[in-house]
Structures are given as C-alpha cells and as structure tokens.
Amino acid sequence: MDIAQAEDLEMEGACGGSCACSTCHVIVEDPEKYDAMPEPSDDENDMLDLAFGLTETSRLGCQVKMSKEIDGVRIRLPSMTRNLQAADFKGAKKI
C-alpha cells in the first residue's frame, strides 16, 4: 500500500494500514506470486469479505509485504472500493 500511495496510485487505505477496512483491496494478477505470499490472516480475510469485486487472488494491499519471492508481482486495483464506516450508519433505524 505504501508503494502504491507513494507512486500516486488511487489506493485509499482509509484505516492507515491497520487491516481494519477493505479500501486497499488489490487483485494479484500472477497466481504464482499469489501462492508465494504468506496466507492471509483471519482479520484480513474478514476485511476481504467486505471488498468489492473479490477474487481468488484478492489481498489487502496493506498486508502485502514485498520480498524477493514476489519481486515483479503484478496487481490491479478493482474498479471501485467499499468504505464502510460507523458514520455511514448513524441515524439508521433500528429494527
């Protein structure tokens, strides 16, 4: 996520990289590179469940740590992101 933001790519990262949202959702284009990454944590999988356009090779950008094993990895950003915040639900009618 830090690399993408440093290069002015449109990756929101609303939670600042604390694995508390899905706005840095990325899709890993290379299945071999995806398989070389450590497994997503339960917290990451929970946040990915909220992501728009989830795929089999989706990850949160803030949880991808660059290494020699994934050097040259190609990723793409989904066409949109979903930013769910408590403020979005204020005033919502409770049932």
Query: Model confidence over 14-67: pLDDT tens digits?
Result: 888 899 989 899 999 999 999 999 999 999 999 999 998 999 999 999 999 999
pLDDT at 58: 97
DSSP state of 14: T
Asked if the model's pLDDT at residue 79 lies above 90, the reply is no
Taking residue 61's Cβ as centre, other Cβ atoms within 10 Å add up to 21
Determine contact, residues 59/37, Cβ cutoff 8 Å: yes
The distance from CA 92 to its chain's CA centroid, rounded to whole angstroms, is 27
pLDDT at 17: 86
Highest mean pLDDT among 3-17, 58-72, 73-87: 58-72
Which of 4-8, 14-18, 29-33, 70-74 is least confident? 4-8
**First vs last C-alpha separation in the chain:** 38
